[in-house]
Structure 1
Amino acid sequence: MRYRNARDIIPDHLLEELQKYVSGETVYIPRSQEKKRWGAVSGARTYYQERNERIRDKFHNGDSIDSLADEFKLSTDSIRKIVYKRCDDHSGV
């Protein structure tokens, strides 16, 4: 990480205000944008949401938990968690 002198980048009036709170210390200023959710950048979130939807569809169309576990290379416990997940849970994966 590269440190920059606040005098070089912050207007004098704002620097004077900051010095009332911290002076001579290193301060981290986070980015203004909100942190993206897990898997949003890589596409993993979408992949798992779509996979889980396929699993639920197949289960509701009669596929057994054991056959789904074999097909998707998951444990039967994982398949159960996916197919019995509450429908109103919008947490994603």
Structure 2
Amino acid sequence: MRKVFQLIITRTEVTKSKPDPESYNVCRDLLGLEKEDCLVFEDTVNGIRSAKAALLTCYAIQSNTDEHHKLNIADQLFLDLREAQNYLIENDLI
């Protein structure tokens, strides 16, 4: 994964786990990014809560529609990454 990602934060790099925003804040700080330049993809309630607590835009990706009612706290909800990608392109967000 190091060939694809510039930085990987795991639970060994933080002291608090999700839904605490520490992992997202550490990552953003290390990358030197502003909050408005970040987009998080999550598939769990705690992950979404963590991203939102860090004041980041968060898209939920979940193919199991039975879980969608739990994930509606995300900024957008998609069945898969391709659907999210299409949304980003169609709305000139990337």
For the aligned pair, the TM-score class normalised by the smaller chain equals under 0.3
Larger fraction in strand:
2
TM-score relative to the length of structure 1: 0.26
Larger fraction in helix:
1
Task: Return the index of the structure with the highest Cα Rg.
Answer: 1
TM-score relative to the length of structure 2: 0.26
